Amino acid sequence: MATDDSLATGQRSLGDPALDYPLWPPLTSGCPRTSTEDVSYPVEVDYAYDKADPADLFAPVRARGGLERWAPLLPPLLAPGLGEGATPLVELEPGVYVKDESRNPTWSHKDRLNRCTTSAAVGAGAPGIAVASSGNHGASAAAYAARAGLPCVVFTGPDAPPAVDAFLNAYGAVVLPVPWEARWPLLRQVVERLGLHPVSNLTTTHTGHAYGPEGYKTVAYEIFQDVGVPSAVFVPTGYGELLFGVWKGFEELRRLGLADRVPRVFACESAASGALHRALAEGAPAAHVTVGASEAYSIASPVSGYRGVLAVRGSGGRTLTVDDRQLAEAQGELALAGLWAELSAAAGLAGLRSLGAQAPDDGPVVCVSTSSGFKDKGMGSHRTTPAVPTWEEVERRLRAAGITG
């Protein structure tokens, strides 16, 4: 966008609209001529309205979010939406984009999946939804269930992050904190005994919900609309559902004749898990691993699924494992670009950075950032009552930060 796209002509006093000022500098203390000691009057910006092209500028748009935008290539969307999807691509540096999924209704990519799974529950006539999750998945399922007027049971672990705990309860879900090992047996029981519709995995190796990953295809559709087919997509990977959805979406674009290739998809796993990496190394459809210590609770998965194998092999991609230090570095890099991501969500960028000089250089790359930093476990912090600092103390702090005016 060129600077001179703006039709702004100057600043006009709100205290007396007959008074105007040049556009620069911004009058950060309001209108100097009408303001008194008691009342300050603001200014506003004025424009050359006669030079605007209203018909073009305000042309109606298709929905600003909502998977119904993509209804033909999704399962029937029988549950109401919350304006999910349509997230922006933010350019981090030339050729490197971040697909910021924290702009979704519950601030993670999971909303794309749960619009589809909740629709499945509605279509199946289920009396409610059941999910085992301490994180984004459960929160999102609870929101979509609430929106659809369906009861939702969430089996959380003992260590759900404060934010997730808070909004699970806000959405009116029945939240049952149980020890980890009890979650899957209980999930099966409520499904089998009460007929609740499961939106979490029920199987030994991961299969998850039949319709869920379909929602993730829309990530690929949107990237394609924004920048065409990138060279590669780096995807935070736990069970591999998002990974599969992104790959399938691009495959569909090829099938429909819109693209002549698919991007390589890079599965960015936690080094504490690496279940998909192991499955591929062993030539197995899926693998179980013992999960090591990690704060990246959203991607440190003890099991993988066959979808991940298909996506990596089918796209000519590969797995990348990143440890918590690499994740924290990528999280910091995103934050300094104005994007506060969950630690696990930074796995896409961490994966790209782990390639160093071997990073793809044959076109733009996209790192998916799946969720917001407020989902991290250590988010809540507390502080002591501050005292009034002297000016010298303030100046010292600022100088230490390189601010000298």
Compare residues 178 and 355 and give the one whose CB is closer to its own copies.
178
Q: Do the beta carbons of residue 272 and residue 296 sit within 8 Å?
A: yes
CA–CA gap between residue 243 and residue 313 (Å, rounded): 12
Comparing C-alpha atoms, which of 268, 248, 272, 273 is closest to residue 259?
A: 248
Q: How far is the CB of 300 from its own copies (least distance, A)?
A: 20
Alpha helices in 124-176 (DSSP H): 136-148, 162-170
Which DSSP state fits 88? P
Q: How far is the CB of 356 from its own copies (least distance, A)?
A: 24
Q: How far is the CB of 162 from its own copies (least distance, A)?
A: 4
Compare residues 336 and 357 and give the one whose CB is closer to its own copies.
336
Q: How far is the CB of 358 from its own copies (least distance, A)?
A: 28
C-beta atoms surrounding 268 within 10 Å:
29
Q: How far is the CB of 94 from its own copies (least distance, A)?
A: 12
Q: How far is the CB of 191 from its own copies (least distance, A)?
A: 8
Cβ contacts of 367 within 8 Å, gap of 6 or more: 92, 96, 97, 98, 99, 233, 234, 348, 349, 351, 352
Q: How far is the CB of 118 from its own copies (least distance, A)?
A: 10
Compare residues 2 and 357 and give the one whose CB is closer to its own copies.
2
Comparing C-alpha atoms, which of 186, 185, 168, 166 is closest to residue 110?
A: 168
Compare residues 337 and 355 and give the one whose CB is closer to its own copies.
337
Q: How far is the CB of 372 from its own copies (least distance, A)?
A: 7
C-beta atoms surrounding 291 within 10 Å:
16
The tokens for 107 are 């601030």
CA–CA gap between residue 347 and residue 235 (Å, rounded): 7
CA–CA gap between residue 165 and residue 62 (Å, rounded): 34
- Nearest 5°: the CA angle 173, 176, 177 is 130
CA–CA gap between residue 242 and residue 348 (Å, rounded): 12
Q: How far is the CB of 209 from its own copies (least distance, A)?
A: 6
Cβ contacts of 294 within 8 Å, gap of 6 or more: 270, 271, 272, 273, 300, 323, 324
Task: Note if the bond before 60 is cis, omega within 30 degrees.
Answer: no
Tell me the backbone φ, ψ of residue 43, rounded to 5 degrees: -115, 165
Compare residues 356 and 378 and give the one whose CB is closer to its own copies.
378
Region for 82 from its dihedrals, namely left if φ exceeds 0, alpha if ψ lies in -120 to 50, beta otherwise: alpha
Compare residues 35 and 231 and give the one whose CB is closer to its own copies.
35
Compare residues 188 and 318 and give the one whose CB is closer to its own copies.
188
Compare residues 125 and 356 and give the one whose CB is closer to its own copies.
125
Compare residues 291 and 337 and give the one whose CB is closer to its own copies.
337
